[in-house]
Structure 1
Amino acid sequence: MGSVFRPAANFWASLALLFLALALVAFSLVVWLWPRSDSARRVNWAPAQPVPFSHQHHVSGLGIDCRHCHNAVEVSANAGMPPTYTCMTCHSQIWTNAALLEPVRNSLRDDRPLVWRRVTDVPDFVYFDHSIHIAKGVGCSSCHGDVANMALTYKAKSMTMQFCLDCHRDPGPRLRPKDKIFDTSWTRDATTPAPEVLLALYGAPQRNLTDCSICHR
């Protein structure tokens, strides 16, 4: 009586099982790694906005201070977004008919705020206060990157729990002089005070900054 399977069947069955095992391993790696990747967290991604606002033009080019638009950053948990009236302070005089700024003019005319898409965020279960970070010497670029030179604003940092913990475990090297906090292109150099000096200057808290209650309230 003849065999049901040819001798090569064992080879093909083994090969199929090998490919199945490799596929399962690859799938598991993708499922585990993808949520942890910069792509999944949209790092270096600039979301579409109602107006393609350029920090490079307004900050680096025209010298407008961050606080002119984000006027709550030193006193509130939220940095604040500028109302249309702030934009129209200048644009009622310049680029008054530019098609690019039609949404801004419509916003003023209809008394409806522009809806900007959030670029950098943390989950709802994370508490973050801009004002305390500014008060303790953490510069804007530590979380937002070199915003002043971004033609379109994109997410520069992952904003993961690990990202925050790296700083909270050793904040000294991340601190900067008060006059450099809003300078997003600033980097440490030989004239920068030592981390220990900056920690003392800002009165860094003695409590453990990795306590769960710091960020989860």
Structure 2
Amino acid sequence: PTQTCMNCHTQIHKESVKLAPVRESYATGLPVMWKKVHDLPDYSYFNHAAHVNRGVSCVSCHGRIDRMPVVYQHEKLSMGWCLECHRNPDQFVRDPSTVTDLGWVFEGDKNEERQYHEYWVELHQINPSQDCSTCHR
């Protein structure tokens, strides 16, 4: 549903002409006729809000979509790929207020960056589940 799109696109590129069909669909409730780019199996469950609210940036999964002339699937989105992050979340989380800033980069040395990410993991008590039922429903 376009509600998922609008969770981000009320903030990012909210005036983009390319997103007019998404805004119209959201307003009318009618589906958008499009080719799905990020296609997960039907048995997979993914909650965008759970990730964004904990500081996982759009870029981690979608890449720099602001630089893509045509959006494409940047990561493989396989179970193994997801588990990499679930097993080592400190490499991927940051201040949730920066998750939609696609050009954000940490300013500091590697040790400071590691401490920064570890801080967010501790602050938000991030301990992603690795149980099959978390994603397979």
Among all aligned residue pairs of Structure 1 and Structure 2, give the percentage whose two residues are the same amino acid.
Answer: 31
Q: How does 1:117-196 map to 2 (within 5 A)?
A: 117-190=35-108, 192=113, 194-196=116-118
In the TM superposition, what whole-angstrom CA distance separates every residue of 1:54-75 from its partner, at most 9, and x where no partner exists?
xxxxxxxxxx832848xxxxxx
Give the corresponding residue for 1:203: 125
Query: How far did 1:178 drift?
Result: 2.0
Q: What is the rounded CA distance, in whole Å, between the counterparts of 1:149 and 1:120 in structure 2?
A: 17
Query: How far did 1:119 drift?
Result: 0.8
What SS does structure 2 have at the residue aligned with 1:66? coil
- Structure number with greater CO (CA < 8 Å, separation at least 6) is 2
Q: What is the rounded CA distance, in whole Å, between the counterparts of 1:112 and 1:161 in structure 2?
A: 32
Q: What is the rounded CA distance, in whole Å, between the counterparts of 2:75 and 2:101 in structure 1?
A: 17
- Structure showing greater radius of gyration is 1
**Alignment TM-score, normalising by the size of structure 1:** 0.48
The answer to whether the 8 Å contact 1:139/1:181 transfers is yes
In the TM superposition, what whole-angstrom CA distance separates every residue of 1:61-97 from its partner, at most 9, and x where no partner exists?
xxx832848xxxxxxxxxxx8232779xxxxxxxxxx
Pair 1:84-2:2 in alignment:
no
Letter in 1 for 2:133: S
5+ long unaligned stretches in structure 2: 1-9, 16-20
Q: What is the rounded CA distance, in whole Å, between the counterparts of 1:85 and 1:176 in structure 2?
A: 32
What SS does structure 2 have at the residue aligned with 1:83? helix
Q: What is the rounded CA distance, in whole Å, between the counterparts of 1:132 and 1:159 in structure 2?
A: 16
The answer to whether the 8 Å contact 2:61/2:74 transfers is yes
Q: What is the rounded CA distance, in whole Å, between the counterparts of 1:132 and 1:172 in structure 2?
A: 16
The answer to whether the 8 Å contact 2:25/2:31 transfers is no
The answer to whether the 8 Å contact 1:83/1:113 transfers is no
What SS does structure 2 have at the residue aligned with 1:204? coil
Q: What is the rounded CA distance, in whole Å, between the counterparts of 2:30 and 2:116 in structure 1?
A: 48
Q: How does 1:34-73 map to 2 (within 5 A)?
A: 65-66=11-12, 68=14
Query: How far did 1:112 drift?
Result: 6.0
Letter in 2 for 1:216: H
Q: What is the rounded CA distance, in whole Å, between the counterparts of 2:32 and 2:126 in structure 1?
A: 38
Query: How far did 1:121 drift?
Result: 2.1
Query: How far did 1:202 drift?
Result: 1.9
Give the corresponding residue for 2:7: none
Letter in 2 for 1:202: H
- Report how many residues are paired: 119
The answer to whether the 8 Å contact 1:138/1:176 transfers is yes
The answer to whether the 8 Å contact 1:135/1:202 transfers is no
The answer to whether the 8 Å contact 2:83/2:130 transfers is yes
Query: How far did 1:186 drift?
Result: 2.3
In the TM superposition, what whole-angstrom CA distance separates every residue of 1:113-141 from its partner, at most 9, and x where no partner exists?
53121111211111100010011110001
**Alignment TM-score, normalising by the size of structure 2:** 0.72
